[in-house]
């Protein structure tokens, strides 16, 4: 199932993330794509909060570390692929170990390593700027049970 949503504000993007996070069952992998400032990290903040992360103020782009881990109802791994230069580097950070039935993997800048996700049934979220405060959020391949 695909959803195509227009977010009118930063808060609405977080709210959309919240709804997604609350419906996660574990085992999901998200490829989150979109240019600088399109709202990837804010959406992930919402997803982490919705999945029960206690302090979503901790959710920031993992600038110095490539992976942030948040303890929530499920273990959440937030990978920033921005600085990765090859799919080999992506594999080396331990991607396979992050993918478990009781975890959720959120990959920011996933377009940089998309070929490494071959064979994985991932949910793709593509964000784009419409106006200063509006973003288009296209969510593709969501699990059957997910409603937005
Ligand atoms: N509707 C909206 N949804 C999300 N962010 C919005 C929206 N309108 C304005 N913004 C602003 O756009 C910026 C989005 O920042 P954010 O860090 O989430 O983007 P990003 O895609 O993760 O960027 P980067 O590529 O640098 O990691 C924030 O300053 C936010 O306040
Ligand atoms: Mg970001």
Phi-psi region of 40 (alpha: psi -120 to 50; beta: other; left: phi over 0): alpha
Q: Whose alpha carbon is nearest atom 8 of ligand 1?
A: 133
Q: How many domains does the chain have?
A: 1
- Is 145 inside a domain boundary? no
133 lines ligand 1 (CB under 6 A): yes
- CATH code of the domain covering residue 9: 3.40.50.300
94: Cβ contacts below 8 Å, ≥ 6 apart: 67
114 backbone dihedrals φ, ψ, rounded to 5° = -55, -30
Ligand nearest to the CA of 36: 1
Residue with tokens 């959803």, as numbered in its chain: 3
Chain centroid to Cα 89, Å, comes to: 19
Contact 79, 66 (CB under 8 A): yes
pLDDT digits (tens, 9 = 90+) for 14-28: 999 999 999 999 999
Mean pLDDT of the chain: 93
Lowest-pLDDT range of 43-47, 59-63, 64-68, 125-129:
59-63
128 lines ligand 1 (CB under 6 A): no
């Amino acid at each position: 199932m695909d959803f195509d949503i227009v977010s009118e504000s930063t808060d609405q993007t977080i709210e959309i993330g919240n709804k997604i996070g609350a419906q996660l069952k574990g085992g999901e992998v998200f490829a989150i794509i979109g240019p600088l400032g399109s709202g990837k990290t804010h959406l992930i903040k919402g997803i982490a909060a919705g999945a029960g992360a206690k302090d979503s103020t901790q959710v920031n782009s993992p600038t110095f570390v490539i992976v942030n881990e948040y303890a929530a109802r499920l273990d959440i791994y937030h990978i920033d692929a921005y600085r990765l230069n090859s799919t080999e580097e992506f594999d080396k950070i331990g991607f396979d170990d992050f993918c478990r039935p009781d975890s959720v993997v959120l990959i920011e800048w996933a377009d940089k390593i998309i070929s490494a996700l071959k064979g994985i049934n991932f949910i793709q979220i593509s964000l784009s700027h419409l106006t200063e405060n509006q973003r288009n959020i296209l969510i593709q391949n969501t699990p059957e049970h997910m409603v937005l």
